[in-house]
Structure 1
Amino acid sequence: MKNKTNLFILSGFIAFSSCTSDSVSDLGEPSNLSEVTYTTTVKSIIDNNCIVCHGNSPTNGAPMSLTTYENVKDAVLTRNLLDRISRAEGASGAMPLGGPRLPQNDINAISEWIDANFPQ
């Protein structure tokens, strides 16, 4: 009987000691921990999908390089990059040329980067 009493007391102690003093404000939505920036998100999308043709020396008829932040930002502003990667696969002018369309999550990330005013 003594062991059951000790076990009951120990269980109660563990249950009550695990409570915290978090306030309701501590339980709110976290700030945007995954801010889309060129360095953290966009660069890898471009590097993995575009650099084959849009490298330092563009190939396969690519008109510009997309190797730097400035290059990519300029392509968005002056060459309709978002429109080109958003077109249906096989549509005229769709990028990547002849390849599968980028995953929608990647397109959304680039769009979010643009909407946030191109954070580096």
Structure 2
Amino acid sequence: MKKNTILISFLFLGTVLVSSCSNDSSADLSGIDELDEVTYTNTVKSIIDNNCIMCHAATPVNGAPMSLTTYENVKQAVLNRGLLNRISREQGSPGMMPNGGTRLPQVVIDQVSTWANQGLIE
């Protein structure tokens, strides 16, 4: 009898736990809209810092023509200096960035492109 009571208790508890962990729609998930917006501060800055700053520092080195240390620098590089084109070139193509390095993963390039398409939000 005691075993049956314990078994029923576990089954009841399991049912409660499983049924309480569901969503009826994606609207029930908090913050889902925030995941779609790519901004300079929350995404692009870290991409630039991790892949470009070694040459595009406050004082550019290794032949880099401009600094990419600020939002405005990066915005102007996208608008006027072909940054998206340069990071999108095939590995080993002339002018591909990062210069002398490995092409950025496509998902990273897509994030920068999304940022540009969404209006270069800071």
- Name the TM-score, length of structure 2 as normaliser: 0.82
Partner of 2:3: 4
Stretches of structure 2 that go unaligned for 5 or more consecutive residues are none
Report the AA paired with residue 26 of structure 2.
G
Larger radius of gyration: 1
Note the C-alpha offset of 1:88.
0.8
Please provide the CA RMSD for this pair.
2.1
1:70-97 Cα shifts (integer Å, max 9, x gaps): 0000000000100010001221211111
Partner of 1:92: 94
Stretches of structure 1 that go unaligned for 5 or more consecutive residues are none
Partner of 1:65: 67
Note the C-alpha offset of 1:28.
2.1
Q: Share of identical aligned residues, percent?
A: 50
Note the C-alpha offset of 1:52.
1.2
- Separation of aligned partners in 2, 1:33 and 1:112: 14
- Separation of aligned partners in 2, 1:36 and 1:111: 9
Partner of 2:82: 80
Partner of 2:109: 107
- Separation of aligned partners in 2, 1:7 and 1:54: 66
1:35-64 Cα shifts (integer Å, max 9, x gaps): 321112111111111111111111121111
Report the AA paired with residue 32 of structure 1.
D
Indicate how the Cα distance of structure 1 residues 106 and 3 shifts in structure 2: closer, same or farther if over 3 A, else same: same
Number of residue-to-residue matches in the alignment: 117
- Separation of aligned partners in 1, 2:90 and 2:23: 48
Report the AA paired with residue 13 of structure 1.
F
SS in 2 for 1:100: coil
